[in-house]
Structure 1
Amino acid sequence: MYNLYTHIATNPSRCKRLTCKDTLFTIFNCGLKNKYEDLWSHHNYIVYVVEGRKIWHTAHGSYDLMEGSCVFVRKGACIVEQFFDTEFCFFLFFIPDAFICETLATKSTPIQSTGRAHEPIMPLADSVSIHAFFQSMLPYFDEKCQPDPALLELKFKELILTLADNTANRELLGYFCSLLEEPQSVPLQLIMEANYCYNLKLEEFASLCARSLSAFKRDFVRIYKTAPGKWLLEKRLNHARHLLANRGRTVGEASFECGFENAAHFSRTFRQRFGMAPTSVKQRLLV
């Protein structure tokens, strides 16, 4: 599993890009080789599809993105399914929580909380203004010199304010409100429940939770009354048993979807925890 933000930021030859502070705006022609790619990002990001198709798979559902699709992806992990019959070209706009809060603080009319739950991926309402914004960015990529960072910062803030002004983006507005209410911290439980089934290291979970590793471990034990490694293993095994018994997954599929490195390790750990092989779960539970 790799960090999408770091992967793009450290490989400038792969795509055209514009940068401003910790934000990174790119036109990215995807050249992934595998049918499925595990990836994560410690920043939220917006995807606007110019051409092609990919499916973002999360623990809460799958999102089929095609030409014209525009979504807000909360920081965290996912599995991206690739289709090789056409090139996939898209805009990526990474937005740290602090940048969102800084931008929304300048808004004349405060946004109102919608009270809606925040899914890992939030489809954004289709509008003339959002399409026009991405079209307006194209000339900057054709310039020989990087535009002034102050200009780029204004453009990036324009995108946030454009989305915040559209009341049809109810779920996103609810998420923005939650950031404003707790701008200095990330709810640890929300991050863990949304990402436990991915093969992330503890250091990566700590980064998602905006904490040092030691602070993450300390806060985790305070909230869950157990060590993060033990909690993650238990959650993954229980989720795997559910997939095998109720979703018809194979051992390999359940292993992959629950963040285990390989099926052999998964089978061994599963047997130690439940006293039976994964292949026998469905029959045992149906009896």
Structure 2
Amino acid sequence: MINSYTNITSTPGGFRKLICKDSLLTLFNCKQDSRYQDIWSHHNYILYVLEGRKIWHTAHRSYDLREGTCVFVKKGGAIVEQFFDTDFCFFLFFIPDDFICDVLNKRSRPVPRVWGETEPIIAVESSATIMTYFQSMYPYFIDGNEPDPSLLELKFRELVMALADQRNEALLSYFCALMNEPQIVSVQRVMEQNFCFNLRLEEFARLSSRSLSAFKRDFEKLYGISPGKWLMEKRLSHSLHLLTNMGRNVAEAAFESGFESYSHFSRSFRKRFGHPPTAMKQLAIMNVTASVA
């Protein structure tokens, strides 16, 4: 998978980007590449769509992002589906966990404590405050001059403050989790929301803010098995669901379940379920046909 943050920072040209302190990055872009891209990021990001359409596919649901949409995307993976009938123009702000926590801990008013499960992508209301913020950022992209890093940092702080003031329960719940969540819970959240993406264990560890050895230790404490075995079982169960309930073909099920190759998927699937994926797909079709008849 492509690490979108690393890819952007290491690729010259193509779009206007502003970087502060090696971790805060914002860009303005209208470039499109292939129809589907599997991406991940070890930083959260905020995306505001100016024009066009893309669909972010996650483990449990899809998010259709169009003109005027603003979302907060939690660090992790996604399959992005692109449409080429119009350019996709957007603002993108990468914001690390520790920066969010630092800003919120320095607020004059504490962040309201809200607890609950949150989706990988959280909708942000396009309020007057948020719209005015993005309008204020536009001149920095069309002006050839680089803003002072301290000014850019202030603009990032302003964005986080504005989001916290929205009283968005889902977003506040995630912010509370970042500031107060037990480390073992963060491992569970990362795994449950990203198991179907072709990420290496080192990348899951990075998403969990751990070394690889600490990640493996905490994972086995939480689940009682190794992360490799757990991932294989989750991905195979997900692929079976896609084949038999969601109408995916074998290649799509393999790709959307995080398998690196069709051959690896087919071998693993047959070993787990006793039949090749093509046979399970055909059986599901026959069952549907029989029930209709």
TM-score range, shorter chain: over 0.9
Within the alignment, does 1:263 sit opposite 2:269 as a pair?
no
CA 1:185–1:164 in structure 2 vs 1: closer, same or farther (change >3 Å)?
A: farther
Aligned partners of 2:227, 2:37: CA distance in 1, in Å? 25
Amino acid at match of 1:241: L
Aligned partners of 2:115, 2:16: CA distance in 1, in Å? 38
Over the matched positions of the two proteins, sequence identity in percent amounts to 58
CA shift, 1:35, in A, is: 0.9
CA 1:221–1:116 in structure 2 vs 1: closer, same or farther (change >3 Å)?
A: closer
Asked whether the equivalents of residues 8 and 14 of structure 1 are also in contact (C-alpha less than 8 Å), the reply is no
**What residue is the counterpart of 1:145 in the other structure?**
145
Asked whether the equivalents of residues 185 and 210 of structure 1 are also in contact (C-alpha less than 8 Å), the reply is no
**What residue is the counterpart of 2:10 in the other structure?**
10
- Aligned pairs for 1:82-97 (under 5 A) are 82-97=82-97
CA 1:139–1:284 in structure 2 vs 1: closer, same or farther (change >3 Å)?
A: closer
**What residue is the counterpart of 2:242 in the other structure?**
243
Amino acid at match of 2:43: H
**What residue is the counterpart of 1:157 in the other structure?**
157
Aligned partners of 1:12, 1:23: CA distance in 2, in Å? 17
CA 1:183–1:231 in structure 2 vs 1: closer, same or farther (change >3 Å)?
A: closer
* SS of corresponding position for 2:175: helix
- Aligned pairs for 1:60-99 (under 5 A) are 60-99=60-99
CA shift, 1:69, in A, is: 0.6
- Aligned pairs for 1:219-230 (under 5 A) are 219-230=218-229
Within the alignment, does 1:206 sit opposite 2:205 as a pair?
yes
Structure 1 segments, 4+ long, off by >4 Å, are: 183-186, 282-287
CA shift, 1:264, in A, is: 2.5
CA 1:283–1:36 in structure 2 vs 1: closer, same or farther (change >3 Å)?
A: closer
CA shift, 1:186, in A, is: 7.0
Aligned partners of 1:7, 1:223: CA distance in 2, in Å? 32
CA shift, 1:161, in A, is: 0.5
Asked whether the equivalents of residues 184 and 222 of structure 2 are also in contact (C-alpha less than 8 Å), the reply is no
User: Normalising by structure 1, what TM-score?
Assistant: 0.94
CA shift, 1:265, in A, is: 2.1
> Which segments of 5 or more consecutive residues in structure 2 lack a partner in the other structure?
none
Asked whether the equivalents of residues 45 and 92 of structure 1 are also in contact (C-alpha less than 8 Å), the reply is yes
Aligned-CA RMSD value: 1.7
* SS of corresponding position for 2:30: strand
* SS of corresponding position for 2:13: helix
> Which segments of 5 or more consecutive residues in structure 1 lack a partner in the other structure?
none
Asked whether the equivalents of residues 184 and 218 of structure 2 are also in contact (C-alpha less than 8 Å), the reply is no
Asked whether the equivalents of residues 28 and 89 of structure 1 are also in contact (C-alpha less than 8 Å), the reply is yes
Aligned partners of 1:282, 1:40: CA distance in 2, in Å? 29
CA 1:7–1:267 in structure 2 vs 1: closer, same or farther (change >3 Å)?
A: same
Amino acid at match of 1:72: F
Q: Which moved more, 1:174-183 or 1:114-123?
A: 174-183
CA 1:74–1:23 in structure 2 vs 1: closer, same or farther (change >3 Å)?
A: same
Aligned partners of 2:264, 2:251: CA distance in 1, in Å? 11
Amino acid at match of 1:271: R
User: Normalising by structure 2, what TM-score?
Assistant: 0.92
CA shift, 1:113, in A, is: 2.7
Q: Which moved more, 1:208-217 or 1:141-150?
A: 141-150
